[in-house]
């Protein structure tokens, strides 16, 4: 009978213990980031920046650690929990730390022009624990923005390469064909002269109704810098290079041109003007 009472008492005590633990407020959790080891050398580490993380750095006497921040980031200030036990040097986005005493466990707070960083610095007396020679921060959010900007820039560049749907290829030439372009076309606003990539580019003149040759506004484009874009259309053009001369005639010249509905040189890229707020 006495044994039965003891068994029941033990069960009641265990239940009370578990209920008391379950009713305790949530215990705090700590975010400590252990940097990823390089596949080439385990003393080189990488970690993603997270303002809510504390980054672990293991070090030992005689070993310096190089912390690499984002390019363009600049050191402002820092604070050690125990400044006497660590040396610190900063140059732009490069931070160098080194323990000066044994048992130098402490923390480091680093402030830059862009972010704040928190580190736990652990002194390792044993050589069996790999000290961190270099810690490189990665920035997933910034990298995503850079990638999107690159995609936007590429899309914009591709948009200006798109030929208009209503372009004119009706051109004839006469004269010194050695300086002749491969192709000539216009989009009702600009005239394009494409030449072989290894050839000297000629001067281009706009012939008016009085047969006078006039200098034109032009710019160069194309991956090989071999397309001259003249910022107008005209019935006749004269190309000159040294003593050579070539006449080019627009057989489908339309003095009204083509309306520009996008506000740019490409039908695939539209200019939008926003009113100031």
The more confidently predicted of residues 33 and 220 is: 220
Last residue of a domain, one of 85, 120, 143: 143
Residue 4 lies inside a defined structural domain of this protein: no
Same domain, 107 and 135: yes
**Among the listed residues 149, 157, 70, the one whose alpha carbon sits nearest the alpha carbon of residue 110:** 70
- Answer yes or no: is pLDDT of 151 > 70: no
Same domain, 203 and 250: yes
pLDDT range class, residue 41, cuts 50, 70, 90: confident
Same domain, 198 and 262: yes
Last residue of a domain, one of 92, 116, 143: 143
Q: Give residue-wise pLDDT tens across range 13-23.
A: 454 444 444 44
Residue 148 lies inside a defined structural domain of this protein: no
Q: What pLDDT, on the 0 to 100 scale, is given for residue 216? A: 94
Say what the pTM is: 0.46
Q: What pLDDT, on the 0 to 100 scale, is given for residue 20? A: 45
Same domain, 168 and 105: no
What phi and psi values does residue 28 have, to the nearest 5 degrees?
A: -70, 145
String of DSSP letters for 142-190: HHHHHHHHHHHHHHHHHHHHSPPTT-B--EEEEE-GGG--SEEEE-SS-
**Terminal C-alpha separation, the chain:** 87
Which CATH number characterizes residue 36's domain?
2.60.40
Residue 9 lies inside a defined structural domain of this protein: no
Last residue of a domain, one of 120, 143, 166: 143
Which CATH number characterizes residue 221's domain?
2.60.40.2500
Same domain, 184 and 224: yes
- Answer yes or no: is pLDDT of 71 > 80: yes
pLDDT range class, residue 129, cuts 50, 70, 90: low
For 233, other C-beta atoms within 10 Å of its C-beta total 21
- Answer yes or no: is pLDDT of 9 > 60: no
| Helix or strand (DSSP H, E) at 6 | helix 2-22
Same domain, 199 and 130: no
Spatial strand order of the sheet with 134-138 comes to: 36-37, 44-48, 134-138, 65-68, 94-99, 86-91
Residue 113 lies inside a defined structural domain of this protein: yes
- Answer yes or no: is pLDDT of 269 > 90: no
DSSP 204: E
Residue 111 lies inside a defined structural domain of this protein: yes
Residue 13 lies inside a defined structural domain of this protein: no
Residue 6 lies inside a defined structural domain of this protein: no
Same domain, 121 and 169: no
| Average confidence (pLDDT) over 49-74 | 93
Q: Give residue-wise pLDDT tens across range 75-98.
A: 999 999 999 999 999 999 999 999
Same domain, 73 and 135: yes
Same domain, 163 and 125: no
pLDDT range class, residue 124, cuts 50, 70, 90: confident
Same domain, 164 and 134: no
Residue 152 lies inside a defined structural domain of this protein: no
Tally the domains of the chain.
2
Same domain, 168 and 99: no
In angstroms, the CA 162 to CA 158 distance is 7
| Average confidence (pLDDT) over 103-115 | 94
Structural domain boundaries enclosing 215 = 158-272
Q: What pLDDT, on the 0 to 100 scale, is given for residue 152? A: 60
Same domain, 55 and 110: yes
Instruction: Look at the chain and count its residues.
Output: 277
* pLDDT averaged over every residue in the chain: 81
In angstroms, the CA 206 to CA 235 distance is 9
In angstroms, the CA 232 to CA 165 distance is 18
For 78, other C-beta atoms within 10 Å of its C-beta total 17
Cα within 13 Å of Cα(121), Cβ side: 32
Q: Give residue-wise pLDDT tens across range 153-188.
A: 555 555 545 454 568 999 999 999 999 999 999 998
Q: What pLDDT, on the 0 to 100 scale, is given for residue 141? A: 78
């Amino acid at each position: 009978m006495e044994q039965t009472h003891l068994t029941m008492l033990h069960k009641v005590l265990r239940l009370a213990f578990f209920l008391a633990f379950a009713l305790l407020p949530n215990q705090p959790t700590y975010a400590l980031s252990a940097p990823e080891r390089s596949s080439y050398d385990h003393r080189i580490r990488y970690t993603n920046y997270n303002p809510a993380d504390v980054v672990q750095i293991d070090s030992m006497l005689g070993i310096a650690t190089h912390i690499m921040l984002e390019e363009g980031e600049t050191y402002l200030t820092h604070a050690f929990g125990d400044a006497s036990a660590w040396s610190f040097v900063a140059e732009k986005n490069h931070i160098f730390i080194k323990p000066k005493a044994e048992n130098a466990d402490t923390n480091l707070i680093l402030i830059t022009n862009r972010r704040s960083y928190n580190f736990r610095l652990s002194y390792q007396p044993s050589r069996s624990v790999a000290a961190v020679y270099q810690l490189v921060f990665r920035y997933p959010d910034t990298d995503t923005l850079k990638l999107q900007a690159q995609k936007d820039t590429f899309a914009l560049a591709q948009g200006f390469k798109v030929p208009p749907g209503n372009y004119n290829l009706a051109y004839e030439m006469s004269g010194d064909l050695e300086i002749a372009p491969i192709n000539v076309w216009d989009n009702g606003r600009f005239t394009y002269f494409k030449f072989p990539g290894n050839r000297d580019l000629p001067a281009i003149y706009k012939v008016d109704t009085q047969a006078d040759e006039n200098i034109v506004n032009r710019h160069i484009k194309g991956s090989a810098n071999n397309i001259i874009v003249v910022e107008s259309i005209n019935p006749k053009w004269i190309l000159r290079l040294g003593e050579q001369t070539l006449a080019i005639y627009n057989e489908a010249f339309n003095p009204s041109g083509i309306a520009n509905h996008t506000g740019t040189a490409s039908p695939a890229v539209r200019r939008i003007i926003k009113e100031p707020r």
